[in-house]
């Protein structure tokens, strides 16, 4: 199956992105079942150590194993990113399909709402809403999904507006095929080449946005772990001459984003 | 020439459309696309609709197919919904789907739920248009222009219509392929007792398939008659021009 995938997207961006993403996802999946130490277990004897064989990424001031915490945190971040993209891309596609296909009043109303959402920088908007709602995983997912909708809606709308004029859609109408079926089965498969790279980049942005939110203290709540949260904690360690924490957490974020970016670029280059 | 039967398939009466254009100076100009067009189409008849680009023939086809939201006059269908064969075989077939899916789609609407039953019908249809089973899994990008047009014809015929609108169905094809497709259309007409509204800018092509011709110019019907009469003794200067050009 992988060979088939590589034959279809035969470029190095896709292959490199695929391997990095697969590696990270695998690591995170393993982290859900098994971590070298309990991510929350404190060990007074092993406080604030640098990397060693016993603690691959060192330990924090409480003697907690950073590698175990990175695995758990990356898992939380990925889960958040997954649901943000699922909801954002899903609803964005729905809005884009309806506005692009029907035009008219539906288009005017929904797209003006999208314009209003895009008028604010998305991270700023998410920050404001989160500041009101308070931190927490579900709130982060909801808010980020909301600010992600317009970008997907716009891409999908353009495609639906273009494809609805093509002859094969006219033909489907004449054949008496229902409108929902035309939207889903006739047009949707044809926008995948445009939608998939956008989803990949969306993942990327979601990871970054979650990290930024949590870094600023409005993301996941204090008791939860996430990459952004950990990056925020790690600031204190840098000033005290312990850069490992920040470096390893930062590296994890960079690898995740690099993987998704390359994947997105690889998917886009195909045509 | 008398129609092959007196059963009307289509009646077009006083159809007009226009759009208003505002010049930069603010004057409103009314542009007629179709002006008072009337004609009938009878069962088993192939009616050619000839004119240069901009004569309004494609707009008329869109109106007949129900794709034109606003026009004056009446268009009455006496058959089930018409089917269509488009000029551009590259946009007429869904590029994301296989031939089997494309031809199976109308059958699903007709309530043929059993995949085996559908497949049998599709293969039968493919053979009718000169293709075979090996085309089932192909996508439009793997087909030539002529093959695509055969699939388009199959897609139209699988609905078992009595009336097909063909909008320049061969003008995107090579001359030899043109002849094959026209021959296929003629054969299907005999076999299914179809009526065609055959739109073309090419008198030669119309001559090969049609019984009767309507000549349009700038949205107006300038001449109408049996194919031989139009060809041998054109009355209107514009018709004469078209006939001359095709010799």
Task: Give the tens place of pLDDT for each residue, B200-227.
Answer: 988 888 998 999 999 999 889 999 999 9
| A34 part of a folded domain | no
Quick: pLDDT tens for B91-110: 899 999 999 999 999 999 88
| A184 part of a folded domain | yes
Is pLDDT of B79 > 90? no
Contact at CB, A170 and B82, closer than 8 angstroms? no
Q: Using CB atoms, pick whichever of B65, B94, B106 lies closest to residue A168.
A: B94
Distance of CA A39 to the CA centre of its chain: 23
ipTM exceeding 0.90, yes/no: no
Q: Using CB atoms, pick whichever of B81, B94, B106 lies closest to residue A186.
A: B94
Residue A185 is part of which domain span? 43-268
pLDDT value at position B1? 43
Quick: pLDDT tens for A171-199: 999 888 999 999 999 999 999 989 998 99
Is pLDDT of B90 > 90? no
Is pLDDT of B239 > 80? yes
Cα–Cα distance, B45 to B229 (Å, whole number): 16
Contact at CB, B106 and A166, closer than 8 angstroms? no
Q: Using CB atoms, pick whichever of B65, B88, B97 lies closest to residue A174.
A: B65
Q: From chain B, pick out residues whose CB is under 8 angstroms from the CB of A176.
A: 81, 106, 109
Taking CA atoms, what residue in B is nearest to A176? B109
| A220 part of a folded domain | yes
Q: SS in 3 state form for B187-199?
A: HHHHHHCCEEEEE
| A9 part of a folded domain | no
Which CATH number fits the domain that encloses residue A264? Answer: 1.10.3720.10
pLDDT-derived band at B166 (thresholds 50, 70, 90) equals very high
DSSP state of B164: E
Q: Using CB atoms, pick whichever of A166, A167, A174 lies closest to residue B81.
A: A174
Domain count, chain A: 1
pLDDT value at position B3? 46
Q: From chain A, pick out residues whose CB is under 8 angstroms from the CB of B82.
A: 174
| A145 part of a folded domain | yes
Report, as ranges of residue numbers, the positions in chain A whose pLDDT lies below 50.
Answer: none
| A153 part of a folded domain | yes
For B208, residues 6+ apart whose C-beta sits below 8 A from its C-beta are B179, B182, B186
Cα–Cα distance, A170 to A165 (Å, whole number): 7
| A7 part of a folded domain | no
Tell me if chain B has a CB within 8 Å of the CB of A223: no
Phi, psi for B16 (deg, rounded to 5)? -135, 145
Distance of CA A223 to the CA centre of its chain: 22
Q: Min CA distance, B87 vs chain A (Å)? A: 9
| A30 part of a folded domain | no
Strand B195-200 and strand B163-167: the pairing is parallel
Quick: pLDDT tens for B56-70: 888 999 999 998 888
Residue B219, token pair as written in the block: 């949205």
Phi, psi for A53 (deg, rounded to 5)? -65, -35
Is pLDDT of B2 > 50? no
Q: From chain A, pick out residues whose CB is under 8 angstroms from the CB of B77.
A: none
């Amino acid at each position: 199956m992988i060979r088939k995938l590589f034959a279809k997207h035969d470029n190095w961006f896709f292959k490199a992105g695929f391997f990095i993403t697969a590696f990270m996802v695998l690591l995170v999946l393993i982290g859900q079942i098994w971590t070298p130490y309990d991510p929350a277990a404190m060990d007074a004897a092993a406080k604030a150590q640098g990397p060693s064989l016993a603690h691959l990424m060192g330990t924090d001031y409480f003697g907690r194993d950073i590698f175990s915490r990175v695995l758990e945190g990356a898992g939380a971040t990925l889960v958040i990113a997954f649901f943000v993209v699922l909801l954002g891309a899903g609803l964005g596609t729905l809005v884009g399909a309806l506005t692009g296909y029907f035009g008219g009043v539906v288009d005017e109303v929904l797209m003006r709402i999208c314009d209003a959402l895009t008028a604010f920088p998305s991270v700023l908007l998410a920050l404001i809403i989160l500041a009101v709602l308070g931190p927490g995983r579900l709130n982060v997912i909801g808010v980020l999904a909301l600010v992600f909708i317009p970008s997907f809606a716009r891409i999908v709308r353009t495609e639906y507006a273009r494809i609805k004029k093509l002859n094969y859609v006219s033909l489907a109408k004449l054949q008496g095929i229902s409108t929902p079926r035309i939207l889903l089965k006739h047009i949707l498969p044809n926008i995948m080449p445009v939608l998939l790279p956008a989803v990949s980049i969306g993942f990327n942005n979601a990871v970054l946005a979650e990290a930024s939110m949590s870094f600023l203290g409005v993301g996941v709540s204090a008791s939860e772990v996430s990459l952004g949260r950990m990056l925020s904690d790690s600031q204190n360690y840098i000033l005290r001459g312990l850069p490992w924490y920040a470096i390893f957490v930062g590296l994890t974020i960079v690898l995740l984003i690099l993987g998704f970016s390359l994947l997105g670029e690889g998917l886009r280059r195909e045509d | 020439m008398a129609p092959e039967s007196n059963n009307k398939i289509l009646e077009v009466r006083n159809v007009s459309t226009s759009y208003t254009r505002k010049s930069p100076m603010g004057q409103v100009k009314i542009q007629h696309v179709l002006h008072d067009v009337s004609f009938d189409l009878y069962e088993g008849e192939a009616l050619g609709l000839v004119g240069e680009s901009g004569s309004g023939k494609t707009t008329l086809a869109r109106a007949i197919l129900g794709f034109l939201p606003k026009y004056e006059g009446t268009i009455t269908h006496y058959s089930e919904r018409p089917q269509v064969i488009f000029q551009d075989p590259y946009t007429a077939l869904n590029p994301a789907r296989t031939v089997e899916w494309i031809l199976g789609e109308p059958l699903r609407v007709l309530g043929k739920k059993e995949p085996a039953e559908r497949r049998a019908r599709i293969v039968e249809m493919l053979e009718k248009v000169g293709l075979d089973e090996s085309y089932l899994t192909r996508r439009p990008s793997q087909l030539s222009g002529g093959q695509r047009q055969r699939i388009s014809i199959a897609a139209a015929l699988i609905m078992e219509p009595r009336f097909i609108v063909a909008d320049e169905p061969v003008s995107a094809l090579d001359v030899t392929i043109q002849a094959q497709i026209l021959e296929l259309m003629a054969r299907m007409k005999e076999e299914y007792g179809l009526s065609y509204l055959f739109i073309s800018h090419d008198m030669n092509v119309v001559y090969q398939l049609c019984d009767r011709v309507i000549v349009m110019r700038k949205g107006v019907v300038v001449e109408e008659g049996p194919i031989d009469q139009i060809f041998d003794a054109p009355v209107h200067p514009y018709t004469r021009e078209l006939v001359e050009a095709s010799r």
